[in-house]
Amino acid sequence: MAVRLLFITISLISAVTALPSPIKLVSDYSFPFVSREEWGARPPTMTSPLKVSPVPIVVIHHSYIPKICLVRADCERDLRNMQRVHQVTNGWEDIGYSFAVGGEGTVFEGRGWSSIGAHAFGVNTRSIGILLIGDFITNQPPQAQLQSVKDLIEAGVRLGHIRSDYKLIGHRQVTPTECPGQRLFDEISKWDHFSLNWDD
C-alpha cells in the first residue's frame, strides 16, 4: 500500500511539473519595460510618497554623462553607476529619476510612479521625472527613444498617475541648467502639453 501511494505521489508531481508554466500577465505597457529588480537597482535608503497624485507636471532630462546607450546591458550598467553616484556621492535616497529611457527605446523603472524623485528641485513633490540617457545638446535622440517617452507619458495618464491636462517641461525651466540639452528641448517644445508658462 505504501509503495502504491508513493508511486501515485511521484506520478502526480511529475505530471504537474511537466505542465507549461503559467502565462505571465500582460504588461500595462506597449514598450519594453525593465523593473528595478531586473536592472539590478540597489534598495532605496528611504522612500517618500508623492504629495500629489495624479501629478500635474512631467519633467524631461538628459544624462549628458553617460552618453547614449543602445544595448540593454549597457543601459543597466549606466543606471547602476548613476544610482551609486546619487546615493553614495550625493547622499540621496535612490536614483533621482522616476524613469529612464535608453537609446533603443527600453524604459527602466527608477523611483517609479509613486515616490518623490530628486530630479528637479522645487517640483519633485508634484512631478514625474523622465531621463533620456545620452547627451542631447547637439544630437537628436533616436526616434525609438522619443517614442517610448511619449508612450510612457500616455501610460501614466491612462493608469491614473499623470493628470490628463499635465504640463510638460524641460529641467532648465525649473533650475538654471543646460538640461535636457538644446536639441532635446527643441524637440519636446513641439509636443502636446509642452508649456512655457507651466507654473501659472
Q: Average pLDDT per run of 10 along the chain, which is 200 residues long?
A: 43 38 53 96 96 96 96 97 96 97 97 96 95 97 98 97 97 96 98 86
Q: What is the pLDDT of residue 153?
A: 98
In a domain, residue 156? The reply is yes
Separation between Cα atoms, residue 185 and residue 173, nearest integer Å = 10
CATH of the domain at 165: 3.40.80.10
Structural contact between residues 103 and 72, judged by C-beta atoms closer than 8 angstroms: no
In a domain, residue 25? The reply is no
Report in angstroms the alpha-carbon separations of 113 from 55, 92, 162. 9, 18, 9
Q: What is the pLDDT of residue 23?
A: 28
In a domain, residue 124? The reply is yes
